[in-house]
Chain A
Amino acid sequence: MTNMLNIAPSPHAHGKDSTRKLMLDVVIALIPAFIISVFYFGIGAVIVTATSVISCLLFEYLIQKFVLKKPVSVTDGSALVTGILLAFNLPSNIPILIIVIGSFVSIAIAKMTFGGLGNNPFNPALVGRVFMLISFPVQMTTWPVPKGLGTGYLDAVTGATPLAIVKEGLANGESLSELMSQLPSPVQMFLGNMAGSMGEVSAAALLIGFTYLLIRKVITWQIPVAVAGTIAVFTGILWLANPAKNADPMFHLLAGGVLLGAIFMATDYVTSPMVPKSMFIYGAGIGIITVVIRVYGAYPEGVSFAILIMNAFVPLMNAYIKPKRFGEEVKNG
């Protein structure tokens, strides 16, 4: 026999999953949302997504190679996913420089300072997005209206998102039924024909992506169902209590970033809990905080903040909520 024998501890077999395959599956699940965003927002969608992805990959490469002087791991796909998700949280008319700044915050500050992949407590794309929202509030809250491929990039026509329409309208004393006429129909909202960030508008595309992720066993159902379910329940309670002042649950689920957040952002492996019991608590917390911000808070949309706040609780949940061990029942005898 010519080769020396390989020795390693057991097991000597390995499953087929790899980090890169999982990340690529997430990218594939996001393709429907990308196609729809180009369909509705035109060239801007392409520019924003490309800029975000390229800057995220570039920053990770530069930091790993020249600052940390460690082996470069950009090909594992995690920066690619962060880049796409960051882009999907932005309006399609946002200037390139702002995107680059946001990518820098996402990768360099929210991910690399904590030790790179696997060590960050907060969702990097959301940290970048919130940073951009607070630093560039005007650019981050003017949303292009979908005009198909005719929508320009920086010169796109802008309008208010459904959530903003409702929030400002209620604050001005208008009744919900009056506002309803200004809002897109539920079918339009389901397909994505409304103002909003590139990735969040189309519930249909996101649900296709969700199905793909479930089939490929990339994510489990607990977190998205907990988030969406909690939002539906609480907005349902509020709507039943006072239909004139509170929108119905279907509106809340379709408007804003609930589905994007529940399916893609809250289920991020690194920042979500490890045990199914905790996943329900995590998802419920996100749902409750989102509803509170939307109904009582200053911002029309609260999913990003809700997820970041619950990210902070995840280490606590991982430390104290443990799965029931095999054979744990009998304490004595």
Chain B
Amino acid sequence: MLKTFPTGGVHPPENKLTAGIPIEYIPVPGKVVIPLSQHIGSPANPVVAKGDFVKTGQLIAEGKGFVSANIHSSVSGKVSKIDTAADTSGLKQTAVFIDVAGDEWIDTIDRSPDIVRDIKLSPEEIIKKCFESGIVGMGGATFPSHIKLNVPSGKKCDVLIINGVECEPYLTSDHRLMLEKGEEILIGITILMKALKVEKAMIGIENNKPDAIARMTSLASTFRGITVHPLKVKYPQGAEKQLIKALINREVPSGRLPIDVGAIVHNAGTAFAVYEAVQKNKPLIERVVTVTGKSLSKPGNYMVRIGTPLSGVLEAVGGIPGDTGKIINGGPMMGKAVSNTDAPVVKGMSGIILIPASEAPRKKINPCIRCARCVSVCPIHLEPYLLMTLAEKGMFERAEKERITDCIECGSCSFTCPAGRPLLDYIRLGKSTMIRMARQKVLK
């Protein structure tokens, strides 16, 4: 009996078109645009200026404040300007523009292919190294990882959970990383265990990746304290709270964090980035991006340098198909639709999906027939039909009583609704209004 979270969840078609395609490196582009805010928290402060020559792996911006991350150059070349650039949604933020020249790396980075198993750093040094190397959550959340390695006083962590679930349809970057860089990931996990001072790590992998499960299980036998757990295929199994519930049967209380039930969760891709940072001195400058879509000529899993324009990536994989109606940054359930294809690839971009025009538009909106399917699929046991009506009518206090801020925005409700109602659109509106109102009350 495979473990899973007990209630809720949906089964979108998996469409893992690229599961069997090995990771390929995309050539370094001619220009990169590296945004200064690729993570949750305050944007980083640039430490280079126009005209400076930078090398691959060099620090170009320092994290500012408690929740922030460093940013490194992914190429070598000249900084042409520090100006605003639009992200995939057309919203602007400051970025470092670099004209690429060659590919000269800083000499502290170990570029050899040897796998280094011996962990020389102490826990405190590991945490410092993660911050210095700009490591953030690679599953898409981009939370600065070093913060999740500092267990707050008064709380205890007894298990490290590694998220190898990748429950979103289409995405396969973690899958390929586990298959091709499994040992590095396990070393990364051991590093994280050392930093957290825990003896036990559990890797959750959805059962639609039998090859990855087999590979990681056999490799994990050579490591201490790491176990691999296949999980039932159900979306959103990869959501933090659902993963913790499935693996160790503990529910993170409303409004709290996983550490409150003794668990810390890191993505498998983050573990790989930690390995590279701690064992190879390599900061986060590139990531595996699944570029996929039913009409693409060359779908695959590509290692892309941070800052490569999206248009550049799409050129390299055969160009945008003529029938494309929508481009998604991330997975189809929680990703954002792209309106600006010149936007750069950032640390949290796990996938780019090209949807044909026939599948792109939304369903027509019909009245709610109170079928209660949204209630039965919500993994947090909320009532989306009610939350949508409350948010639409502006009854935000009542929405808060109905726990609207507990919503994890997984999209299961909108996915299921037979009447095509935009449930999540309004729930998100309610959540952001509630959070804004709460913040204003605190400021008052």
Contacts and interface: CB of A to CB of B under 8 A. Distances in A.
Nearest to A331: B253
Interface in B405-439: 406, 409, 411, 414-420, 422, 424-425, 428
A11 interface: yes
A1 B328 contact: no
B35 to A, nearest CB: 20
Interface string A289-333: 000000000000000000000000000001000111111111000
A142 to B, nearest CB: 36
A330 B253 contact: yes
Nearest to A332: B253
Contacts of A8: 326, 337, 362
Contact of B418 (A13, A21, A326): A21
B254 A327 contact: yes
A119 B338 contact: no
A69 interface: no
A15 B419 contact: no
B106 interface: no
Given A11-B333, A12-B326, A118 B373 contact: no
Contacts of A328: 253-254
Interface string B94-113: 00000000000000000000
B385 A5 contact: no
B324 A15 contact: no
Interface stretch (B52-60, B202-210, B283-291, B353-361): B353-361
Interface size class of A (residues with CB under 8 A): 35 or more
A13 B332 contact: yes
A273 B324 CA distance: 42
A113 interface: no
Contacts of B386: 318
Interface residues of B, number: 68
Interface string B241-284: 10001000001111010000000000000000000000000000
Contact of B320 (A1, A14, A327, A329): A1
A133 interface: no
Contacts of B415: 11, 13-15
Interface string B354-388: 01010011110011111111011001111101100
Interface string B310-326: 00000000001011111
Contacts of A165: none
Given A7-B339, A9-B424, A329-B251, A274 B370 contact: yes
A326 B373 contact: no
B41 interface: no
A73 B381 contact: no
B324 A1 contact: yes
Q: Give the most central of A3, A15, A21: most B CB within 10 Å.
A: A15
Contacts of A116: 367
A109 B415 CA distance: 33
Contacts of A327: 241, 251-254, 256, 380, 406
A155 interface: no
A274 to B, nearest CB: 4
A248 interface: no
A6 B325 contact: yes
Nearest to A120: B370
B420 A18 contact: yes
A5 B169 contact: no
Contacts of A324: 381
Contact of A326 (B334, B366, B372, B380): B380
A315 B216 CA distance: 51
B148 interface: no
Nearest to B401: A322
Nearest to A115: B367
B336 interface: yes
A274 B383 contact: yes
A274 B372 contact: yes
A96 B164 CA distance: 65
B12 interface: yes
Contacts of A14: 362-363, 414-415, 420
A2 interface: yes
A274 B337 contact: no
Contacts of B355: 12
B181 interface: no
A11 B424 contact: yes
B403 interface: yes
B383 A10 contact: no
Q: Give the most central of A12, A14, A117, A328: most B CB within 10 Å.
A: A12
B254 to A, nearest CB: 4
B159 interface: no
Nearest to B367: A118
Interface of A: 1-3, 5-15, 17-19, 21-22, 73, 76, 78, 116-119, 220, 269-270, 272-275, 318, 322-330
Interface of B: 10, 12-13, 169, 241, 245, 251-254, 256, 320, 322-328, 330, 332-339, 341, 355, 357, 360-363, 366-373, 375-376, 379-383, 385-386, 402-403, 406, 409, 411, 414-420, 422, 424-425, 428
9 contacts: A5-B337, A6-B325, A11-B415, A12-B333, A18-B419, A19-B418, A322-B383, A327-B252, A328-B254
**The 7 nearest A-B residue pairs measured at CB:** A11-B411, A17-B418, A330-B253, A274-B372, A118-B367, A6-B360, A326-B380
